[in-house]
């Protein structure tokens, strides 16, 4: 980037003091471009002057030169702190964000769609998700200033796109945290045999989600990711083995669980779309990809991460959906851990507690980072390494968690909550927004300038239309199913102590 030509003293990181011979070129972006040796002494601003710093603040706001240099040191430390993510840790972060609630909802989706359609949709959507995630990464490489999905919206549609996609981004992640809060409530009710009010368990779940979301960097969250991944794999394994053994030991029937290659009888348009959107939800990792990649020290390595995650997801989701559906049959429940039987369900939920709260909290971290970074864009507060930075960060994390808890209590049904999120938001983040990015930001030349351009144009147009189809049909199906459930009285009331069925 071009320098403005202005120079500002830079603190010595090792000692916390300022070297009088070090100056830094001022960038419009606010990041140092190079350090130059200079013979002049460090400038000291005269009282009452309005000289600006490298980050645009006026020097007169500082009480002393020491305060100014302290803040500059915090900026330098913060910038280093938020750029420590490698491709392996990125993979773990994506796994933490992606493989959790989605896996628990897929067996019931297979029961609705049938084995054949379930496998085809699971693999097909997974391949599309890998491709659109690749496009998202290409946008980040081409436009390094993009820190969150909303920034990509600004590149495509200006301020309107920034605000629209920013609102969708915040709502999606907050609803996602609400889903994890709801799942935590279900887990505690199951583990305790409905020992206390479900509302209390909801509060306990929210408190745990808040505590786990306190670390502000994804590099720190990645450490918990290994526990998260082991948790979901073991929990799914216990559920698959448990349902398999149980299906051959049920005394009331000599027949194995009934499953079908085709959609179950009586499946309505709404039922099919709720099931499809539950599978779409499971492949929603692109929503956080910009945020994660912004912390990478080598962003071009992201391709390794999305291939690793995509293949892992396709294998886990397809096997989980197919095997549990085959063992349990059309009566498989959502989340799937409820289908393992009373004892094994408790064991599975106990093992799954880490994934419920770690995967939920990373979404709190992402949305809080977006809001915090936007509010304190030109302040050292955004680095969360000062007392004010920590105070505002903790307050924001608490606010997001409270809103998520309210959502979980107001919408106490698992599959339809996932369906609403998929239809309204994931349809965009995973399908039609990446397709638009290819046309508006990545494509070179006319859409039919070359054979490769023509092929990619057709593929992206198809992905765009699929996203719009999921948006329209999925939203209709989810809302209709919620209305039907309330009409039948099969859903408990909001903010009550009743168990979640």
pLDDT at res. 339: 77
pLDDT at 286: 87
The answer on pLDDT for 448 being more than 50 is yes
Q: What is the mean pLDDT of the chain?
A: 81
Structural domains present in the chain? 89-488 (1.20.1740.10)
Q: What is the pLDDT, as a whole number, of residue 443?
A: 93
Q: Between 80 and 494, name the one with better pLDDT.
A: 494
The distance of Cα 16 from the centroid of its chain, to the nearest Å, equals 36
Q: Over 90: is that where the pLDDT of 79 sits? A: no
Predicted local confidence at residue 212, as pLDDT: 94
Q: Is the pLDDT of residue 476 over 80?
A: yes
Whole-number Å distance between alpha carbons of 308 and 310? 6
> Considering the chain, what percentage of its residues have pLDDT values greater than 70?
78
Distance CA 273, CA 117 (A): 12
Q: Grade residue 497 by pLDDT with cuts at 50, 70 and 90.
A: confident
Greater pLDDT, 228 or 48: 228
pLDDT at 89: 85
**Contact of 390 with 384, CB cutoff 8 Å:** yes
**CB contact set of 251 (below 8 Å; sequence gap of 6+):** none
388-435: per-residue pLDDT in tens?
A: 989 999 999 999 999 999 988 887 665 566 667 778 898 999 999 999
Q: Highest mean pLDDT: which of 18-27, 73-82, 260-269?
A: 260-269
Q: 221-235, 252-266, 275-289: lowest mean pLDDT where? A: 252-266
- Is 403 in contact with 216 (CB distance < 8 Å)? no
- The listed range with the strongest mean pLDDT (73-82, 131-140, 178-187) is 131-140
Q: Of the given ranges (187-201, 205-219, 335-349, 360-374), which has the lowest mean pLDDT?
A: 335-349
Length of the chain: 501
pLDDT (0 to 100) of residue 412: 63
Q: What is the pLDDT of residue 197?
A: 87
Residue whose structure tokens are 């189809």: 469
- 101-142 pLDDT per residue, tens: 568 779 989 999 999 999 999 999 999 999 999 999 999 999
Distance CA 177, CA 396 (A): 14
pLDDT at 266 (0 to 100):
86
Provide the pLDDT confidence category of residue 441 given band limits of 50, 70 and 90: very high
Residues 40-65 pLDDT 10s: 333 444 444 444 443 344 444 555 66
User: Tens of pLDDT along 150-180?
Assistant: 999 999 999 999 999 999 999 889 988 988 8
Over range 264-274, report the average pLDDT: 87
Can you give 396-431 as a three-state secondary structure string?
Answer: HHHHHHHHHHHHHHHCCCHHHHHHHHHHHHHHHHHH
Asked if 231 contacts 351 with a C-beta cutoff of 8 angstroms, the reply is yes
pLDDT at 498 over 50: yes
Give CA–CA dist 348/242, Å, rounded: 9
pLDDT band at 499 (very low <50, low <70, confident <90, very high): confident
Rounded to two decimals, the pTM is 0.78
Question: ∠459-311-130 over CA atoms, to 5°?
Answer: 30
Token output for 325: 């559906």
Q: Which of 252-256, 325-329, 471-475, 486-490 has the lowest mean pLDDT?
A: 252-256
pLDDT of residue 465 exceeding 70, the answer is: yes
């Amino acid at each position: 980037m071009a320098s403005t030509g202005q120079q500002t003293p830079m603190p010595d990181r090792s000692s916390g003091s300022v070297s009088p011979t070090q100056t830094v070129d001022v960038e419009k972006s606010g990041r140092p471009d190079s350090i130059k040796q200079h013979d002049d002494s460090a400038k000291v601003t005269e009282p009452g002057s309005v000289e600006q710093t490298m980050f645009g603040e006026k020097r007169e706001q500082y009480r002393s030169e020491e305060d100014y240099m302290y803040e500059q040191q915090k900026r330098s430390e913060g910038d280093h702190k938020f750029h420590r993510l490698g491709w392996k840790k990125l993979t773990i972060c994506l796994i933490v964000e992606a493989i959790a609630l989605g896996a628990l909802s897929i067996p019931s989706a297979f029961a609705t769609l049938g084995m054949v359609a379930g496998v085809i949709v699971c693999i097909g959507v997974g391949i599309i998700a890998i491709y659109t995630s690749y496009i998202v990464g290409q946008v980040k490489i081409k436009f390094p200033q993009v820190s969150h999905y909303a920034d990509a919206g600004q590149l495509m549609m200006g301020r309107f796109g920034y605000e629209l996609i920013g609102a969708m981004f915040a709502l999606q992640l907050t609803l996602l945290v609400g889903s994890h809060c709801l799942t935590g409530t279900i887990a505690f009710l199951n583990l305790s045999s409905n020992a206390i009010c479900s509302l209390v368990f909801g509060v306990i779940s929210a408190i745990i989600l808040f505590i786990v979301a306190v670390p502000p960097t994804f590099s720190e969250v990645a450490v918990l990711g290994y526990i998260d991944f082991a948790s979901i794999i073991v929990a799914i394994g216990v559920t698959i083995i448990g349902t398999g053994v149980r299906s051959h030991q049920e005394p009331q029937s000599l027949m194995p669980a009934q499953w079908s290659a085709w959609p179950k009888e009586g499946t309505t348009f709404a039922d099919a779309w709720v099931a499809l959107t539950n599978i779409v939800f499971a492949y929603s990792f692109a929503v956080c990809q910009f945020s994660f990649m912004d912390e990478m020290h080598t962003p071009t390595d992201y391709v390794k991460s999305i291939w690793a995650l995509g293949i892992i997801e396709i294998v886990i989701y397809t096997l989980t959906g197919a095997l549990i559906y085959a063992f349990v049959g059309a009566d498989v429940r959502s989340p799937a851990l409820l289908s393992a039987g009373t004892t094994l369900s408790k064991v599975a939920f106990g093992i799954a507690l880490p994934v419920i709260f770690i995967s939920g909290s990373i979404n709190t971290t992402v949305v809080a980072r977006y809001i915090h970074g936007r509010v304190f864009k030109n302040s050292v507060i955004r680095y969360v390494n000062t007392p004010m930075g920590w105070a505002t960060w903790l307050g924001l994390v608490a606010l997001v968690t409270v809103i998520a808890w309210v959502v979980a209590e107001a919408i106490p049904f698992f599959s339809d909550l996932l369906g609403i999120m998929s239809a309204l938001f994931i349809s965009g983040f995973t399908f039609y927004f990446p397709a638009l990015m290819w046309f508006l930001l990545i494509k070179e030349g006319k859409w039919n300038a070359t054979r490769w351009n023509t092929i990619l144009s057709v593929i992206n147009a198809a992905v765009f239309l699929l996203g719009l189809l999921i948006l329209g049909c999925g939203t209709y199906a989810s809302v209709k199913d919620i209305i039907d459930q309330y009409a039948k009285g099969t859903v408990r009331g909001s903010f009550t102590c009743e168990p979640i069925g």
